[in-house]
């Protein structure tokens, strides 16, 4: 089982059984808007870390974003195994790069 699937299972456990002091439970109690806001914040922080060439910070922000994405999936009833299945399907398409449309800017 992947680490993300294990994380998803923990998140689903928190969703089913409220645990005082749990950040995950806090997010669920605040609802979809708060979870989406956190996803946006973490995505922005990830981009900033990448642009700053800070590999350590980038690693941390990617992990934060993935965590919040997993919480969002749980909130919306999207089983993370469906996401993993989609990624497996997409991996079969590796090497099938769509041809870029070339535009003649001289005309």
Query: What is 3-82's CATH number, 2.40.128.20, 1.10.287.1080, 3.40.50.300, 3.30.920.30?
Result: 1.10.287.1080
pLDDT of residue 92: 86
Q: Which residue numbers in the chain have pLDDT < 50?
A: none
pLDDT of residue 54: 95
Rg of the chain over Cα atoms, rounded to whole angstroms, equals 18
List strand residue ranges (DSSP E) for the chain, in order: none
Helix axes 55-76, 23-30, angle to 10 degrees: 50
HSE-up of 105 (CA within 13 Å, CB side)? 1
pLDDT of residue 56: 97
């Amino acid at each position: 089982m992947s680490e993300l699937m294990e994380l998803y299972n923990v998140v689903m456990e928190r969703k089913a059984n409220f645990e005082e002091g749990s950040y995950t439970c806090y997010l669920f109690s605040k609802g979809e808007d708060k979870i989406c806001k956190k996803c946006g914040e973490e995505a922005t922080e990830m981009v900033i870390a990448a642009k700053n060439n800070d590999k350590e910070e980038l690693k941390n922000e990617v992990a934060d974003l993935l965590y919040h994405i997993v919480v969002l999936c749980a909130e919306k009833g999207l089983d993370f195994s469906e996401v993993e299945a989609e990624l497996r399907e997409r991996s079969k398409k590796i090497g099938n790069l769509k041809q870029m449309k070339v535009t003649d800017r001289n005309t």
